[in-house]
A and B are shown apart, each in its own frame.
Chain A
């Protein structure tokens, strides 16, 4: 999640965190305003293009999307089969393609498939848009935004450090799993209870290690003068520039246009 920041000097990277968050919001709203999968496909394509401009390596994007594939497939099937055909506004969408079982049970309609596609695309759009934000925004910017919203420095620091340690803990957990496998532990083929039980040998060393690490961290923080004063110098003040205001304005226009289009029945099913 938030640890995916990937440094680069792209245009999106240079924008203020607030501009990016507004953009995320608008893309999401747009995706929910339109029901048609074609419009959503267009939005998804645009978001994907933006993602490409921030120069993230493709394998990182793949890492984000791959685990979502089965969810997309299940969503597509469930909505495709269960959405009642009568509810669609357009005649085309009311057409029933075939029935899964005889005696007209579980019909699948054109609209059903479209609707399933839209739902899937909406999630895809949200994931892509949030990836744009997380890949292009250092955690410090987000923390600073929180501080601007009057969160105390100490709490903001704790959150930032927690996030900084996610990859470290992941690595630790992998090392522990390897050590336990090497002495005969089997993971993942003993049913739910069995699996939970087999993770105890991973969990306990993890907890013990975390306690040790947190003590060391506390010491290190003191060593670096944490808590000398109530707050610390912000090295990189987040600041709205001219281009941020321009982009924000454009974003708002898009938002209004989308809502207006919706009232004009564009992109219904």
Chain B
């Protein structure tokens, strides 16, 4: 290919194979794509499909920082990456990575943003100009003097984007920048990028698992699977094909799933696959208008059975500092065997509340009772037999040299016999599906397996209550489904489950009770249909309803039952009433 013909800001990747040093097999094979200046490109695919590796090709980290076996050519901004240093390429291609923490060098926002241009030895005035220009683009104007460690995750990630913008790149590459963020922070990143693309005419390439945002914002999607480009095209075509998304481990759009079910079973072949709930609702409206069914108001099916209370908080208040209440008089009772989802935006008090349940935090005033006992003076380690707390990051607890030892660790303090320990460990390893890996070193396992291991090391203590902190954050669709299935099984085995989550689909489908936190208070508490019917309160708590809930609401207006909130319920109901839809 003739390099002169290429435009600045374009990318041409023609890679036969790339193998990391010391790796037995190739991580990337057959990566071919072309990106034009000013395009907004999404890169999707499972965890481990080669997204990060592909993106590191673009600014020369491969083959310069990670050497390995490289066969092919990558031409970015008319420059062959093999011929230039990463620092030289960095002037034209900015890379933003997943963990915002390791991308921030300055103590204040302003100083951090100036790090890039000052490395390029620009004049002081020019650097100041670049900083003043970059911060408003990511929505951080007014933050100049703020201390970087005090920013939220989303703000840190936008600062990282500002940091590369300040170097005036032709291309911005972002590797899963949203995976650790909450839904609001996530949407903000895509909005900001789309603005930057529009104003600065830079090429933007982003990888991630955010199906809805990818659909709404990017021009083209490149799908990777097992180190190969397996699909490329416009987002519309990808998400309309539900079986294709499932095949490549991409989370389907809820509306597409529902209309896909209709399509398959529908007599009328013209049924389209809709991608936005509004369109599907409009379609159903048109089809159903003619028929008149009565509102078959469905009274609540979930009657809280008189179960034994296992968690009770009485006027629980807590403040990290004086006069600042992070929790304000929380009164809750949770019965044995309930599956509770705790939702609310970041900083609403969800985690602060949960940490009181196993004594990681102690109330400033009020009481916490676990199995009827006031735990004020009970240590966390003693409580670990009653309340298991599964943290989001498995790597914060794994330290042993083998999977088996890792799981055994918690039992050492329990005065059990050798036989008992062995039995318990075997049982738990079988449950999570790690029994064949029992002698492996934990760090040779994939992320999904490490998460299972962390789960196992908590389960082995046989706690009746499980607190699970953001089980699906940072996971791809397969990982999300795996975690949801595991939680469901544990619930069926009789565990009381309390999960903190931003994943409302999980809350709607699996929980039998949802508690919404806002500003340190409980603002809603009830069954999923009850909670999701309170549109206004949810909105004031900055929780936006899943698409399926929106469809359910309009179905109710059309005469369906009032408790349709999950994709599967809606699919079922629609299929049962297919005759109505095909009436015309």
Contacts and interface: CB of A to CB of B under 8 A. Distances in A.
Interface of A: 5, 7, 59, 138-140, 160-161, 164, 167-168, 172, 175-176, 178-186, 200-201, 203-205, 208-209, 212-213, 216-229, 231-235
B97 A220 contact: yes
A183 B91 contact: no
Contacts of A216: 97, 99, 102-103
Interface string B58-101: 01010001000000000000000000001110110011110101
Nearest to A180: B397
Given A139-B107, A140-B107, A204-B399, A232 B119 contact: yes
Q: Lowest 4 CB-CB distances: which A-B pairs, in order?
A: A204-B399, A182-B389, A216-B102, A225-B119
Contacts of A229: 119-121
A9 to B, nearest CB: 10
B431 to A, nearest CB: 16
Contacts of B127: 233, 235
A216 B100 CA distance: 10
Contact of B87 (A140, A168, A175, A227): A227
A219 B65 contact: yes
Nearest to A237: B124
Contact of A183 (B106, B118, B120, B410): B410
A7 B147 contact: yes
A204 B397 CA distance: 9
Interface string B388-403: 1101010111110000
Contacts of A175: 391, 393, 396
B149 A167 contact: yes
Interface in B315-364: 321, 355, 358, 360
A205 B395 contact: yes
Contacts of B167: 224-225
Contacts, number: 162
Given A167-B149, A184-B461, A205-B399, A231 B391 contact: no
A212 B393 CA distance: 14
Contact of A168 (B59, B101, B389, B399): B101
Contacts of A222: 61, 65, 86-87, 90
A35 to B, nearest CB: 40
B86 A213 contact: no
Contact of A200 (B59, B119, B399, B443): B399
B381 interface: yes
B457 interface: yes
Contacts of A221: 105
Contacts of B86: 222-223
A224 B164 contact: yes
Given A178-B360, A209-B395, A227 B107 contact: no
A178 B410 CA distance: 14
Given A184-B461, A186-B379, A231 B121 contact: yes
How big is chain B's contact interface, by range? 35 or more
Contacts of B164: 223-224
B379 A179 contact: no
B101 A213 contact: yes
Q: Which residue of B99, B118, B128 has the most chain A CB atoms within 10 A of its CB atom?
A: B118
Given A201-B397, A205-B397, A232-B118, A225 B87 contact: yes
B360 A176 contact: no
A205 B90 contact: no
B391 A178 contact: yes
Contacts of B457: 183
A195 to B, nearest CB: 14
Contacts of A234: 118, 124
Contact of B391 (A7, A139, A182): A182
A185 to B, nearest CB: 6
12 contacts: A5-B107, A140-B107, A164-B105, A172-B396, A176-B397, A180-B397, A184-B461, A222-B61, A225-B120, A228-B87, A232-B118, A233-B123
A235 B381 contact: no
B409 A201 contact: yes
Given A205-B395, A219-B65, A224 B149 contact: no
B134 interface: no
A182 B121 contact: no
A231 B389 CA distance: 48
Contacts of B101: 168, 213
Given A175-B391, A176-B396, 5 more contacts: A164-B106, A180-B397, A219-B97, A224-B119, A226-B115
B326 to A, nearest CB: 16
Contacts of B96: 223
A138 B107 contact: yes
A205 B116 contact: no
B161 to A, nearest CB: 12
Contact of A205 (B94, B121, B398): B398
A37 to B, nearest CB: 33
B255 interface: no
A116 B164 CA distance: 56
A60 to B, nearest CB: 12
Contacts of B106: 164
B458 interface: yes
A227 B86 CA distance: 10
